[in-house]
Amino acid sequence: MAPQTSVIHDIGYQRYTGPRLGRWYANRSLYEHSVRSAFGIGRGAKAKIFPWLIIGIVLLVAVVAIAVRSISGQTLMTYRQYAAGLSYPVMLFLAIVAPELVSRDLRDRTLPLYFSRPLARTDYALSKYAALVTAVFLLLGVPQLLIYIGAVFTRTDGFHGAWDELGDLGPGLGAALVRALVLASLSLLIASLTGRRAFAAAFIVGVFLVTSPIVVILGVLGNETVGSLAFLANPMFLMLGLEQWMFGMDANNRLPIGDFGPVYGLGALILLGGSVGLLLQRYRKVAA
């Protein structure tokens, strides 16, 4: 009986010799994937339910505003009022999406895959933050653009009317961008602290809701100065005060902040910078 011999089969494995797309491409890919994940795109139906339910609510408000203006000629709400009036849907959207972007990776321990070359830890955090900012801005900005288009078609003063309407739209989009930048940073920081999405969502909602009574208590018990500064305690009221300082008083959004508008600007800057800084620090030290 002939002895058995070993045979080496060449199955065609070769080293990759194509282009190395590098760090920029990795960041862009992570950002694009995260934006898609925020809206459940490319995932199952279950992942789409809650984000698109919130999207449906904000679009419904926009459709109602367009319909009222087209039928009666009256403006139901300004663009800034639209952004301010949807605080609770935005809060729920952040509570749903922020844990989806970062808590899942902590739970599934997939961070070592991201932190391998060429993607750095800070790249991961900033890409996720940029994706959440984009998602929130689209949530608030796209319906405003729809309202603008509907308003232009209802006006009878042609190009001049469209230009005037654009002047009203600008502060609304500015308010949406400011809200996206500040609220996304805080929500993503909270979500990065736990791998359990349910806990992260509850903590995010808790920060927004629990601080509301503090504003009321300070306003009732404090003097006039304390009452003017009490709104700093809640992120949503902080945004209202900041927008009032940046764009002036709006018809139905008149917080009694007195001459403390710059303080609200500083408060928003501290919240934004502190949240982003702590988020970067979190991912510099997170186990991977």
Residues of the chain with pLDDT under 70: 1-4, 8-13, 16, 251-253, 288
Which residues of the chain form beta strands (DSSP E)? none
pLDDT of residue 179: 94
Q: Nearest CA to 265 among 137, 178, 167, 173?
A: 178
Helix and strand totals (H; E) in the chain: 11, 0
Name residues whose C-beta falls within 8 Å of residue 64's C-beta, 6 or more positions apart in sequence. Answer: 76
pLDDT of residue 4: 67
Distances (CA, A) of 185 to 18, 47, 60: 37, 22, 27
Domains of the chain, by residue range, sit at: 22-285
Q: Distance from CA of residue 153 to its chain's centroid? A: 30
Q: Dihedrals φ, ψ of 186, to 5°?
A: -65, -45
pTM: 0.88
Q: Copy the structure tokens of residue 136.
A: 């929130």
Please report where in the chains the tokens 């305690």 appear, as a residue. 233
Question: What is the C-alpha to C-alpha distance for residues 96 and 112, in angstroms, rounded to an integer?
Answer: 24
Question: What is the C-alpha to C-alpha distance for residues 223 and 227, in angstroms, rounded to an integer?
Answer: 6
Name residues whose C-beta falls within 8 Å of residue 76's C-beta, 6 or more positions apart in sequence. Answer: 64, 65, 68, 69
Distances (CA, A) of 110 to 5, 104, 286: 42, 9, 12
Side chain identity at 99, as an amino acid letter? P
